[in-house]
Chain A
Amino acid sequence: MATFTKANADYLRNTLQEAVVKCSERCLYQSAKWAAELSVSLPTLPSVSSSFDADTDSQMQDVDPPPISPAFHFANNDPEEARLEAQDLSRYLLAKSYFDCREYDRCAAVFIPSALPRGPLSPTSPNSNRRTPTKAGKGKGKDSGVITEVGSEPPSNALPKLSQRALFLALYSKYMSGEKRKDEESEMILGPADGGSTVNKELVGITRSLEGWFADREARGLSGSNQGWLEYLYGIVLAKGKTEEDAKRWFIRSVHLFPFNWGAWLELSELLNNVEELQKVVPELPQNLMTLIFHLYASQELYQSTDPIHKELDELENIFPDSQFLKTQRALLYYHSKDFDEAETIFSALLHADPHRIDSLDFYSNILYVMSARPKLAFLAQVATATDKFRPETCCVVGNYYSLKSEHEKAVVYFRRALTLDRNFLSAWTLMGHEYVEMKNTHAAIESYRRAVDVNRKDYRAWYGLGQTYEVLEMHLYALFYYQRAASLRPYDPKMWQAVGSCYDKVDRPVQSIKTYKRALVAGTYYDQGSSFGSGTTAGEPTGVLDPETLYQIALMYEKLNQLDDAASYMEMTLAQEEGPEEDDDDEAGGHGIGVTTTTSKARMWLARWEFRRGAHVRAMELANELCQDGVEVEEAKALIRDMRARMESGRSPS
C-alpha cells in the first residue's frame, strides 16, 4: 500500500463510484452513502498516465475495467444478465421508483405478482432447509415457470426469470415491507407487543424463493456469475433466523462476489462475537482493501484498541486521508481505550468539517457525557437538532444532555423517541436502561438492557448495566453472569473485574473474588502502560498507581479468609498509594499520589486496629494520630488512641 499512485487512486475511485451506482440501483442507501463518502475522501493526486495496478485489480472479478469518464450506468459484462436487465428495464425503473416512495409491497409486486408464503420464520424451517440447500435443489427440475404450491418443496425455484438486479430489488422490498409491518405491530416502545413476539413474516417466503433460486443456478452451473447481492440478502434473512454460521458463510460468499457492498460487511461484523471469531473469519475473506477496512471496523467493534489496529488505521488513512468514516473509527478506538480528550478532539474536528453530519454523533455525546462537558453537549445537541431532529442519533444526543442534567424523565422521552425512529438503535436501548436505573425502575431497565443485548451482543455497557440492575435487586449470583459477560468483552477494563469481584464477594466466594480483584489490578496497570499513544492523563489512574479501592477489597477478602497477614500487606499497599510509587518520588515531587481518601483512611483504621490487636502499639498510635491529622474518622481514631493510652499505661504500671 505504500506505493499508492494516482492510477491506483483513480481506479479505486472508479470502482467505488461504480459501487455507489450499484448500491443505489438496489436501494441500499446506506451502503451507497458509505461508498460515496469513501470515494470522495480519496486524495486528488497529480495525474499520471493511467496504468492499472495488478494487485488491486485482482479483487474485481466481475466488473469491467473502469470507463474513462465516470458514467452513471455501468454496463454489465455478463451478457445474459445484461440482456435480462435490458429486458426488464422499464419494469425495474417502475419498481425502483415505488421503492423510493416506500411502497414496498407494490414494488415487490412489479416483479413477483403472486404472494410468497408468509408466516413466522419457525426456528426449524431454515435449519432443516439449510442443511441441503444446494444438493436438494439439484435434483429438482427446472419446471419452475409455474408457481409451485406453497411450501411443498421448498428448494425449487418458484421465481420468474428475472435479472439478478430485479430479483434482488423485489425480494429486498418484500423484506423491507415485512420489517415495516413488524415495526408497526410492535406498537409502543416497551409496550406489550414490543419484544420478541413480532417477527418479519416475509422471511419464510424470501428464504424459500432464494433457496430455490440458488439451487436452480447451481443446477444450471451458473453460480459463477452470481453477483453477490442475493447472497447478501439471503445472509440477512438467515441472520434474522439466528442461523448465524450459515449467515456468515453467505456473507463471506457475497463479499467475495462483490466486495464494495458495505452492508454485507456490517452484517458480517455483527455476527462476530469475539476476537477469536474474527480471527477465524479473516482467512476466508478476499484479500483486498475492503477486508482491511472490515478488519479495522470489526476490531473496533470488539474494543481492540491496540497498537497494530492503530497502525492499520494509519495505513488506511494514507489512502483515504479525508475519510470521515476512518476518523470516526480512530475516535472510537480512543474512546474504547478511555482516551476521551483525544476522541473529543477528533469528533470536534469532524463536526467542524461537516456540521450536517449526524452519523455517530451519539458516540460523541457519550464522550462529552463522560467528560461532563455540559455546554458543549448542549451545543452539539443544538447543531444536531438544527440539522434533523428526527434522527435517532439526534435524540440520543439530546437524551444524553438531559441525563447529564439529571432530568431522567426527559432523557427517557428522547431515548424512546430514538427507538421509535429505529428500533435497532443500540445506544438508545443501553442509555435508556441507564436512565431507568436512575429512576429506580428496574424492570424497565432490565428490559431495555436486554433489548440492547439482543440487538448487539457486544455491548458491554448493556451487560454491565444488567449486572448492576440485578445487583440492585440483590440477585448477586444472577448479576455475576452478566458481569462476566461484560468482563469477557472488556478483559482490560478493571471496572468490569471489580464488579465481578464484588459479586463473588456477595455470593461468598472470597477466593474467586480475590482472583478477579487481582485481575482488575492487572487490567488497570495494563491500561496505564498500554496507553502509550495520546497524551491523555485524565482517564484512569495516574501511572503506576494501583487502585486503592481494589487493594482494600482484596485485603478485606483475605480478612474473610482469615489470612490476616495477607490482608495487612494489602492494606499497607492501599496506604502506599497515597504517596504513589517510590521511584516517582524523585522525578516529580510527590505529585502522583492519590492523597488521602476515605478508602485509604479506612485501610489506615483497619491497620491501626490490627496493629493494636497485635500489640504493636507504637505503630498503631502513629496510624491513629495520622488519622486524626487527616481529619477522617476522627472520633473513632480518638477513641482508639484513648483506648491505647489506657492499655499502655495499664501495661506500664505493672511493669
Chain B
Amino acid sequence: MSRYLTPSKVGLLALISLYTESVVPSAATIPVLSFLISQILPVNSVKSRNDDLLRSRDITLTLDDFQKATINHISGIPGRTVWDLLLNKLWKINSFDALHVFFDTLSLLLQKTPEQLQNEAEDGADTDSNPNRMLLSRTSPLGAFVRRAQLEFTRLQFHDGLTLWKSFVTYRAPSLLQWKKRNQTAGNTSFDVNLQQDRLDLGDRLTEVAYGELGTEASQVAGVSTEDVEKLLEYQVDQMQRMGNRLPQAMKMKLRDMIESGVTIPSLSHYVSFLDSWKAGDYPSSFDKLHRYFDYTMHNRDRTFYQYALLNLAILHQDFGCYSEAVVAMQETISTARENNDMVCLNYSLSWLYHFGKAHPEEIHEVQKKGVLGTDREALAFLKAKAKETSMWALLSTSLLSEAKLSLSQGDGVAQAFESILKASHLNVTKNVLNAIGSQMSMQSSVFGRLGVSCQAWVYGELFLQCYASPSPVEDVVHCICKSAFLLSQKGRYEDALARMEEIEEETLGTLRYSQYWTSSLGLLKFRRHLHRDNLTAAEHVLAQLRAPLNLSQDLQMNVSMLEMDLLIRRGDYSKAMEMLEELATKLNEEEADTYQRVKLMTLKAQIYDKSGITQKGFSVALRAASLAHRARLLPALWEAVGRVSAVLISLKEFSAAAKLLDSIMPQVLECEDCNLSAQTFALLADAHVGMAGQAKAETLQRKEQLTKALEHIERSFDEFSRIEDVRGQCEMMAKKATIMHLNGDPVLANDCAAKYLDIKRAAKDQL
C-alpha cells in the first residue's frame, strides 16, 4: 500500500493538467473544478455532512467516476469530450519512465517561486511555456495537491513507484476499449511502450515477469493508500467519538479488508477497534486495545500522547463503573497535560472532572479537598475563562449549560439559568458548534419542564429530534427520545410513547451504555403502566429487571425508587415505603442532590402520611416541599406539594380554603399536561367541594351546587385517570361518584356507577 499516491490520484492530476491547458471550455469549468475539489479537499473541511457520508462510501475513486464527471462536457478541441482528452492523457503514460516524466512535468503547472524566477533570470533561460496554459498558484488547493503529489512521488522508492505504476496500469485497463475507438492502433499491450516495441503479447514470459498477473491481484491492494485509510479511520474515530456510535458491521469488514491488504497498518486502526470494543462494553479487550494503540502512538509526529492515553483510560474506567480509578487516572491526566502545556486536553479533563463530580459526588471528595477545582461555581468560572482563552467553543457552551444547571439545582433564579442557556445558544449559533446544540436544546426543554410548560418542553424536544439529531452525539438523542416518550406517557399516550422509544436506531443500541439507558427507560414506562393497570405482579417483574444494571444514571435510579415506593403504597405496605423513603432522603441530603428530587420525596412522604390516615403529620413536610419548590421554580412539584397541603387542609376540615387553593392552581396544573397530577388535584378539589357540601345545610341549594361541582371534578378526575389507565384511581372516582349519587338520592345512577366500577375492575382483571 502506498503512502499517498494511488492510481485515482494520478487520474486527478491528469485532469488538473488538462484543466490548466485551457481545453476545458468555460461551461464545463465549474463542474470539472467542483469534481476536482470534492476529491482533493480533506474530509472535515467546510462541507455539508451529507457529502462526508458520500465520500466515506466511495473512498476510492473509480475510472467510471471520472467518466461520469467528464463525459458530458465538450472540450475546446472539436469533436472531443473532456473525457476523451483525459483518456488520451492517461494512455500517453505508456511506460514507467513516462510516469516519471508525467510527475516531473507537473511542476510546469505551478507558478514559479521567486527563487526559481531569480535563477532563471540569472541563467537567462527564458522558458516560454504554452501561452494558453494557466498556472496554478502554489498555495491554491489544486496547487497544493499537485505539489504534495509530486513530493510524494519523489519520496517513493523505486519498487514502490513500480507498484504505483502497475496498479495504475490495472486501473486504466478497463478504459482500453473506449480509447481504442479514438485510437485504432491501440492493442492489448499498449499500456507499455516497451512491450509494443518488442512486439510482445500478454502471454509472453517477459511481460509476465514485468507485470505479473495483471488485473487479478494488486488491483485491490493499491487502490487505496495509507493516507486514504488514515483519512477513513480518522473519519470513523471522529464519528465514534462525536456520536458515540459503534462501527456498523459492514464497515468493520470493509476496514479489515483494507487494512489487511496493506503492509503498513496505521496505528489509528487500533484506536478504532478500541472504541468499538469499548462501546460494545467489552471491558478487558477495550483495555487491551487501548494499551496497544498508545504503545504504537505514544510519540507520533513529535507530540506526546501520554495525557490522551490517560484521558481515555479515565473515561473508560468511568464508563465501566470503576469510579475511584477513573478519578485517579483523570488527576494524572490533568497533571500530565499541565506538564505538557496541552491546554485543550487540560480543559477537557477539568470539565470532565466537574461533570463527573456532579454525577458521582461521593467519588470526588478526595479531589475537592485537594482543591483542583474549588467549589462548583469557581470551577465553572475557571472553565469558562479557560475555554474562552483557548477558544474551545464547545467547552464554553457546555460550561454555560452546566452553569444553568447548577443555578437551577441550587434553586437560584430561573432567569439566570435562561441567561446562561441563551448565551450558550448564541455561542452555538455564531461559532457553529453543532455538537452542543443537542444538549442545549434538551436543557432548554428540561427547564420548561420544570416550569411546568410541558408543551414548550415537548416542542423543544421535537425540534431537536427533527433538526439536530444527526450531527449530535447519540447520547443526547437517546436521552431526548426517552424524555419525550416519558412526556407522552405522562399524557397517557402509552402506545405513542412506546412507538417513540422504538424510533431509536438499532445501531445505537449496540453501545452498551445507551442500550442500558434505553432499556431502563422503557422498563420505567412499562413499570408505570403496569402499576396503573394494577398489575402488580408484572410490575414487580419489571422492577426486578430494572434493578439489574449496576451503573444506571442517578435520575433513572431515582425514578425507579419512586415507582417502587408507589408500588409499595399500592400494596398498602406503608411502613416499608416509609422506610425506603427515609433511607433515600438521608442519602439525598448527604449528596446535596437536586432540589427536584428532594421535593418529590417530600411530597411523597406527605402522600404516605395521607394514605396511612395521619394526614396532618405531613403538613410541615408538604409545606416545606411547597416552599422549596416555589423557590426553585419547580412548578409541577410545587403544584403537587400544594395538593398535599390542601389535603392536609381538607383533613382539618378547612374545605373552603383548600378549594380556594386548589382552584387557584388548577390552570397551571392543567398546563403541566401531567394526567396523574391533574387527576389527583381534581380528586382533591372534589373532596374539598364534598366537604363544603357537608358543611352546608342539607337539601339547600348550596349543598347541591357543591355536590354538582364535586361531581364535575370527579368526572374530570375520572377522565384523567382513565387516560393514564389508572384502574385504582378510576375505581375510586367511580366509588365516590356512586356515593354522591346515593347521597343525592338517585339510586339508579348510583347503581349504574357501581356497575361501572365493577366493570372497570373486571376489565382490569381480564387484562391481566
Contacts and interface: CB of A to CB of B under 8 A. Distances in A.
A59 interface: no
Contacts of A401: 97, 158
A5 B450 CA distance: 113
B557 to A, nearest CB: 65
Interface residues of B, number: 24
B212 A378 contact: no
A375 B212 CA distance: 19
B212 A379 contact: no
Given A378-B97, A379-B95, A382-B96, A387 B192 contact: no
Contact of B100 (A378, A398, A414): A378
A375 B95 contact: yes
A365 B741 CA distance: 116
Name, among B96, B98, B212, the residue most crowded by chain A CB atoms within 10 Å (CB to CB): B96
Contact of B194 (A379, A386, A398, A414): A379
B208 A375 contact: no
Contacts of B556: none
A529 interface: no
A348 B199 CA distance: 12
Contact of A381 (B98, B158, B208): B158
Interface stretch (A144-152, A350-358, A459-467, A507-515): A350-358
A401 B158 CA distance: 10
Contacts of B204: 352
B372 interface: no
A377 B97 contact: yes
Interface in A387-441: 387, 389, 398, 401-402, 405, 414
Contacts of A375: 95-98, 193-194
B95 A378 contact: yes
Contacts of A398: 158
Contact of A379 (B159, B192, B208): B192
B210 A379 contact: yes
Contact of A356 (B104, B198, B209): B209
Chain B interface, >50% SS class: helix
B206 interface: yes
A378 B193 CA distance: 11
B158 A385 contact: yes
B162 interface: yes
A122 B358 CA distance: 83
Given A352-B206, A375-B194, A382 B98 contact: no
Contacts of B200: 352
Name, among A378, A385, A401, the residue most crowded by chain B CB atoms within 10 Å (CB to CB): A378
A558 B95 CA distance: 52
A383 interface: yes
A402 B158 CA distance: 9
Interface string B27-60: 0000000000000000000000000000000000
A382 B545 CA distance: 68
A387 B209 contact: yes
Contacts of B96: 375, 378-379, 381-382
Contact of B206 (A376, A377, A383, A385): A383
A374 interface: yes
Interface string B704-731: 0000000000000000000000000000
B205 interface: yes
B165 interface: yes
A381 B96 CA distance: 10
B198 A348 contact: yes
B208 A355 contact: yes
Interface in B96-113: 96-98, 100, 104
Contacts of A374: 97
Query: What interface size band does chain A fall in?
Result: 20 to 34
A383 B209 contact: yes
A401 B165 CA distance: 16
B724 to A, nearest CB: 78
A196 B598 CA distance: 90
A392 to B, nearest CB: 14
Nearest to A395: B158
B97 A352 contact: no
Contacts of B159: 385, 389
Interface in A172-208: none
Nearest to B210: A383
B206 A351 contact: yes
Given A375-B194, A378-B95, A379-B194, A405 B210 contact: no
B699 to A, nearest CB: 115
Interface in B420-473: none
A355 B95 contact: no
Chain A interface, >50% SS class: helix
Interface string A339-359: 000000000100110011000
Nearest to B99: A378
Nearest to A398: B158
Interface string B200-218: 1000111011111000000
Given A355-B208, A383-B210, A405-B100, A376 B194 contact: yes
A382 B210 CA distance: 6
Contacts of A351: 206
Nearest to A381: B158
A320 B541 CA distance: 95
B7 to A, nearest CB: 16
A196 B557 CA distance: 82
A386 B158 contact: no
B163 to A, nearest CB: 10
Nearest to A385: B159
Contacts of A387: 209
A351 B209 CA distance: 11
Interface string A612-648: 0000000000000000000000000000000000000
Nearest to B96: A378
Contacts of A385: 158-159, 162
Contacts of B211: 386
Contacts of A389: 158-159
Contacts of B192: 379
Contacts of B95: 375, 378-379
A440 B198 CA distance: 39
Name, among B162, B165, B204, the residue most crowded by chain A CB atoms within 10 Å (CB to CB): B162
A377 B206 CA distance: 15
Interface in B387-421: none
Contacts of A348: 198
Contacts of B197: 376
Contact of A355 (B97, B100, B165, B210): B210
A389 B95 CA distance: 19
A379 B198 CA distance: 12
B571 to A, nearest CB: 82
A385 B204 CA distance: 18
B209 to A, nearest CB: 4
Nearest to A380: B194
A348 B212 CA distance: 19
Contacts of B100: 378, 405
Interface in B172-203: 192-194, 197-198, 200
Contacts of B198: 348, 352
A355 B194 contact: no
A386 B212 contact: yes
Contacts of B208: 355
Nearest to B158: A398
Name, among B158, B204, B209, the residue most crowded by chain A CB atoms within 10 Å (CB to CB): B158
Name, among A351, A387, A414, the residue most crowded by chain B CB atoms within 10 Å (CB to CB): A351
14 contacts: A352-B205, A355-B206, A355-B208, A355-B210, A375-B95, A377-B97, A379-B210, A381-B96, A382-B165, A386-B162, A386-B209, A386-B212, A398-B158, A401-B158
Interface of B: 95-98, 100, 104, 158-159, 162, 165, 192-194, 197-198, 200, 204-206, 208-212
What 3 A-B pairs have minimum CB-CB distances, sorted nearest first? A378-B97, A355-B209, A379-B194
Given A375-B98, A379-B194, 7 more contacts: A352-B200, A376-B197, A379-B97, A383-B206, A386-B212, A398-B158, A405-B100
